[in-house]
Amino acid sequence: MDRERVKFRIGKDKAFMALVILLSFFSMVPLFLILFYIMRNGLSSLSWEFLTELSKPVGEVGGGIANAIVGSFLLVVIASLPAIPMGITAGVYLSEHKRGRLSYLLRLAVEVLQGTPSIVIGIIAYLWLVISMGGFSALSGGVALGIMMLPVITRATEETLKLIPDSLKEASLALGVPYYRTILKVILPAGFSGIATGILISLARIAGETAPLLFTAFGNPFMNLNIIKPVNALPLLIYNYATSPYPEWHSIAWGASCVLICIVLILNFVTRIIAQRWKVQF
Amino acid sequence: MASKSIDNQIDPSPRVPGLRAEFVFRKILLLSGLVIVVLLAAIFLSLFLHSLPSLRAFGLSFFFTKTWDPVSGKFGMLSFLVGTLLTSFLSLLICLPFSLAISIFLGEYFREGPLSSFLRNVTELLAGIPSIIYGFWGLFVLVPIVRKLEIILGIPPYGVGIFTASLILAVMIVPYAASIGGEVISLVPSDIKEAAYSLGATRQEVITKVILPYARSGIMAGILLALGRALGETMAVTMVIGNSNLLPRSIFSPGNTMASVIANEFTEATGRLYLSSLIEIGLLLFLVTMVINIVGRYIIKKVSVEA
């Protein structure tokens, strides 16, 4: 009787472990399915022309996504220029002032901003920039993406600088190095890899972001480098082409997805290498 | 507080070289912090001011009216509210067993080693895939599968709809719930686990009767944050939900969520009231996700301090 009970419990234990492992591995299936379909449908349309030519009207064979690649790059640059320095300085402020009313508010703001749906950021960029400038523009799209980058970089900077011991800063100050040089030349270089990781993660995140661009950058079938004109972006192109009724456009969308996912995967990969090779440790 | 004591010793006389740079540097740090706080306040204010016309015109009935009629200028968001709640909770329900399994896998069974780092990498990659790719894949792979399922079940085979959107959402939020759950489970102190083992409990009994109850609030926080993401997720949902402004009749019927209706109609919104109604939906999304995030993070902070 007792032995039966023990056997049952051991059996239940093993079954539970098997269930956990099974469910865990089952949830990996979507990743491989997605990668499989993107590669199968997308790789065939990839070519040098695909990356360097403009899109063609419906019905014509061929055509590329050069305008979307350039547009995405332009948007990322516009987003990074203000967001990276500001994110880092705000992160430094947080690590230098661990307590205090502004730090509390800032930490709260960063958390809330990070959780804000991207579509809401799009509305904001529309209200602030598109209405006042009288039209859709790359600038408004870039600002929307920049707002999304800020909290990620600020948090990464704060979390990294937390790991750096006070003694390092004190040693520098004791040598008579001014405070600002201590931060710029001692503290920030020591936390370089953590901050770089945060920047790359935020770049990977905004490179694939679509919702805030729908009514800011808007999309553009032509090449455009003017930041006050509408511009195309990879995710926008995928959205417009995937939801169109034309099979030629669907295959372009698969190819563009392939390019986008490669960019995101490479950014992730580089991030991991930096995080492992130049670990912030003391 | 090393910096504090040094602050006080700085003599603010202009003779000391570099003091000006020092002053400017501190102001820059302060300013960038202030800007982010002001930015958030400005986001709220803008959304609020621009939704005033709709707030004045419809008041509370905005939430309980299901007519969304741009032609006659009558707007109510009930069907989007229902669509959002249905997709979010359905996706949470689908996501729960999987994210819990991954949490236990990473937090208890395999804390280190190649197997756990493999699973960890895969979930991180899943979290990194852009939502537009999920939507595209869902539209061309998942929708036909759901359509076949609907034919078997004998219901109108739309393919797109609340159910398809929930499936995609579930895949997207599993990594979030799982990574937080795994962390919380690994924080469970080993003395209480060992106490249970010493009483003769099997590992399964330790997990279900000691670890999970102990980590309950942290796991809930992870699910809450995943819910926050599901509520605001736009592109993947927009592409597979069918974009119907009618009140959904079942989980297989097409619908719209709050985020997807904004994505679909914002650029076409002519007229002040139409635009303002969409912005009010945005304001609501902003406030709901804000509350969810603050509560979720608060719980997590409390849990990790206790452990």
Distance CA B306, CA B217 (A): 12
pLDDT of residue B5: 47
Average of per-residue pLDDT across A114-118: 95
- Residue ranges covered by each domain of chain A: 67-277
Average pLDDT value for residue range B46-62: 94
Rounded Cα distance, B266 and B278, in Å: 7
- Model pLDDT, residue A44: 86
* Helix, strand, or coil (residue B41): helix
* A161 close to B (CB below 8 A): no
CB-count exposure of residue A40 (10 Å: 0-12, 13-18, 19+)? exposed
- The pLDDT, as a whole number, for residue B3 is 46
Region A35-42: mean pLDDT is 93
- Is the pTM above the cut of 0.90? yes
Closest residue to B132, CB basis, from A114, A154, A239: A239
Domain boundaries along the sequence of chain B: 2-59, 63-306
Does B137 sit within 8 Å of A38, measured CB to CB? yes
**Cβ-Cβ contacts under 8 Å for A25 (sequence gap 6 or more):** B119
The pLDDT of residue B16: 61
The fraction of chain A above a pLDDT of 90, given in percent, is 76
- pLDDT value at position B307? 65
Mean pLDDT of B277-295: 96
Where residue A49 falls among pLDDT bands split at 50, 70, 90? confident
Percent of chain B with pLDDT over 70: 94
Q: Which two tokens stand for residue B140?
A: 């061309």
Per-residue pLDDT for B1 more than 50? no
Token pair 């099979």 is found at A247
Q: Tell me which of A25, A84, A116, A120 to substitute to probe the interface with B (most B C-beta atoms closer than 10 Å).
A: A120
Per the CB < 8 A criterion, the answer to whether B227 and B96 are in contact is no
**Residue B255 CB partners (closer than 8 Å, separation 6+):** B79, B80, B82, B83, B86, B87, B161, B162, B165, B241, B242, B244, B246, B248
Residues listed for chain A: 282
Digit-coded pLDDT (tens) for A147-181: 999 999 999 999 999 999 999 999 999 998 988 99
Q: Angle at the Cα of A69 (from A63 to A71), degrees rounded to 5?
A: 115
What pLDDT score does B22 carry?
A: 85
B69 Cβ neighbours under 8 A, 6+ residues apart: B75
Q: What residue type is assigned to position A13 of the chain? A: D
pLDDT > 90 in chain B, percent: 79
CA distance B65 to chain A (A): 23
Pick the CATH number of A67-277 from 3.10.450.50, 1.10.3720.10, 3.40.50.150, 3.90.1200.10: 1.10.3720.10
Q: What is the mean pLDDT of residues B84-94?
A: 96
Mean pLDDT of B203-231: 94
Lowest pLDDT segment from A48-62, A147-161, B241-255, B266-280 = A48-62
The total number of residues written for chain B in this structure: 307
Task: Say yes or no for a CB contact (<8 Å) between B125 and A38.
Answer: no
Question: CB neighbours of A160 closer than 8 A, spacing ≥ 6?
Answer: A91, A191, A193, A194, A195, A198, A280
Residue of chain B nearest A113, judged by CA positions: B40
Pick among B27, B54, B136 to test the A interface (most A CBs inside 10 A): B136
Q: What's the pLDDT at B30?
A: 94
Q: Pick the residue with more confidence: B286 or B111?
A: B286
Q: What is the pLDDT of residues A179-197, one digit of tens each?
A: 899 999 999 999 999 999 9
Beta bridge partners of B74: B69
Q: pLDDT at residue B4 above 50?
A: no
**C-alpha distance from residue B75 to each of A119, B29, B80, B86, B262 (Å):** 20, 45, 11, 21, 13
Q: Residue B69: enclosing H or E segment and its boundaries? A: strand B68-69
- What pLDDT does A17 receive? 95
pLDDT at A2: 83
For residues A264-273, average pLDDT = 91
| Confidence band, pLDDT 50/70/90 cuts, at residue A1 | low
ipTM of the complex: 0.92
Average pLDDT over residues B151-163: 92
Contact A85, A149 (CB under 8 A): no
- Please give the Cα distance from A69 to A223 (Å, whole number): 10
The pLDDT-based confidence of B15 (bands split at 50, 70, 90) is low
Tokens of B69: 């009629």
User: Among B50, B267, B132, B47, which Cα is nearest to A230's?
Assistant: B267
- What percent of chain A has pLDDT above 70? 99
Structural class in CATH, domain B63-306 = mainly alpha
